């Protein structure tokens, strides 16, 4: 992964994980695959949740502005040592 939290791949990766955890908790699931589709320059993303067999459980569209996500997950601060030590997704549990 990247050392630059302003990169969309890291920011959306963490956001997809958070969305997956929220979806699992809300639907009492043990696991879910989450895919995020986006276009450069547009805050709109499409999120797809699938079970372990690839069957779609839900698809939704939402806005995800990179600057807001970067602040939300603290990626505008020097967090990378902690992320390496505790794991990339430790903070979004």
DSSP state of 88: T
**∠ at Cα 75 (38, 43), nearest 5°?**
25
- For 17-37, write each residue's pLDDT tens digit: 999 999 999 999 999 999 999
pLDDT tens, position by position, 32-89 = 999 999 988 899 999 999 999 999 999 999 999 988 998 888 888 777 677 778 876 6
15-24 burial: b if 16+ Cβ within 10 Å, else e:
bbbbbbeebe
Contact at 8 Å (CB) between 19 and 92? Answer: no
The model scores a pTM over 0.75 = yes
The full set of domain ranges for the chain reads: 8-85
């Amino acid at each position: 992964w990247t050392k630059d939290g302003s990169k969309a791949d890291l920011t959306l990766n963490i956001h997809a994980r958070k969305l997956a955890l929220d979806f699992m908790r809300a639907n009492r699931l043990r696991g879910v695959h989450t895919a995020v589709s986006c276009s450069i320059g547009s805050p709109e993303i499409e999120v797809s949740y699938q079970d372990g067999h690839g069957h779609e459980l839900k698809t939704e569209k939402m806005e995800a502005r990179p600057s807001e996500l970067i602040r939300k997950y603290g990626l505008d601060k020097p967090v990378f040592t902690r992320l390496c030590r505790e794991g990339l997704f430790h903070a979004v549990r």
